[in-house]
Amino acid sequence: MVSLDVRKRLGPPGGDGFALAVAFDAPAGVTILFGPSGAGKSTLLDCIAGLTRPDAGRIVVGGEVFFDRERGVDLRVRERRVGYVFQNLALFPHLTVAENVAFGLRGRARAGREVEVSDMLGRLRIAHTAGRRPGEISGGEAQRAALARALVTAPRLLLLDEPFSALDAPIKRALISDLKELRSASGLPVIYVTHSRDEALALGDEMIVLEGGHVAARGTPLEIFSAPARLSEARLAEVDNLFRAAVVGRDPARGEMILRLAADCRLAVPLGDYRVGDEVTVAVPSGDILVAAREPAGLSARNLLRGRVTRVETSDGEVRVIVDCGVPFVAALTRAALDELGLAPGRETWLVIKAHACHVLE
């Protein structure tokens, strides 16, 4: 368990600098720190590692107090035994991969160091890079070397600051798979900073959303991405469909409201505490929209929208179809579904959307 209560102000005294004020407990597993640039994610990691001293608060890892301003406790970096992988990796360019990994084992017997380094390089599948320097290996191998250096010291906590942001999708998927396996085998708690929705969903047990130096939301990645409560969360979750709408009807008996997105486009959504005439923002995740090539019937879904395909986008095997229903909706499909439906620009189509897939945001 990691327990954090961190307050830190950056910038000139008395100025308009950035203020970090974050408190939460991170259970065993992978805790994702999510948020826009400048939200305080890297500053928080630096405070945990001991690279930055908080102004106030308390940091406890596995029952040991790393920092407590009131009690005057502030363990040195080496005493904290925290593994840290930086975004730029921070590998020493003049050292070999094996020497980089062994750097944290200074003071131990040489024979023991060599065994531990060799074992870690093997576990991360980069034993063949041991004698090479960072400039002589691939980006994926460099990431594995940085992970090996962080893990070889048997840390009590692993901090990862956007470690895979510069990698291609296939390499990233392989590294995420290996990291999950290593974490599961070791039971090591991990705090992982990322901007990537896919990384958060693939790795995260818990997610903390930071905004402006404060905790804006917390929950599992799936909970936050599938049902964002705030506009900022929806944007961070990369929700494709965000619309301003007017409340034009309420039916408490049936538990729904009707929103007008455009003259000929209306959505039924779960009943909320809004009045007719109120302006709201509604989010509809692209993965929650079904696409039909012919008008369907006998559905439980409350929203059936007729439209026309205006654009089809493909990337890394994923397909996004943009359909004009008075407002442009984005629907996510597989390549197989696209081919079977025969969707192309100009094609008439129908979108099927459950009311509970539509989230009216605070």
Domain ranges of the chain: 2-235, 239-361
Pairing of strands 359-361, 279-284: antiparallel
pLDDT tens readout for residues 101-112: 998 787 677 777
State the distance between the two ends of the chain, measured CA to CA, in whole angstroms. 32
Rounded mean pLDDT, 121-138:
92
Q: Helices then strands (H, E): number in the chain?
A: 10, 21
pLDDT tens readout for residues 219-269: 998 888 877 777 777 777 768 899 999 999 999 999 999 999 998 899 999
Q: What gap in Å lies between CA 259 and CA 118, rounded to an integer?
A: 62
In this predicted structure, the answer to whether residue 208 has a pLDDT above a threshold of 70 is yes
For residue 255, give both structure tokens.
């538990």
With 0-12 / 13-18 / 19 or more C-beta atoms within 10 angstroms meaning exposed / middle / buried, residue 28 is middle
Q: What CATH superfamily is the domain 2-235?
A: P-loop containing nucleotide triphosphate hydrolases (3.40.50.300)
Please, how many CA atoms are within 13 Å of residue 108, restricted to the half-sphere of its CB? 14
3-state secondary structure of 133: coil
3-state secondary structure of 57: strand
What average pLDDT does the structure give for the chain? 89
For residue 325, give both structure tokens.
């229903």
| Count of residues in the chain | 362
- Residues whose CB is less than 8 angstroms from the CB of residue 108 and which lie 6 or more positions away in sequence, other chains included: 116
- Look up the CATH number of domain 239-361: 2.40.50.100
Nearest 5°: phi and psi at 337? -65, -40
pLDDT tens readout for residues 332-344: 999 889 999 999 9
Q: What gap in Å lies between CA 241 and CA 308, rounded to an integer?
A: 16
- From the CA atom positions of the chain, what is the Rg in Å? 25
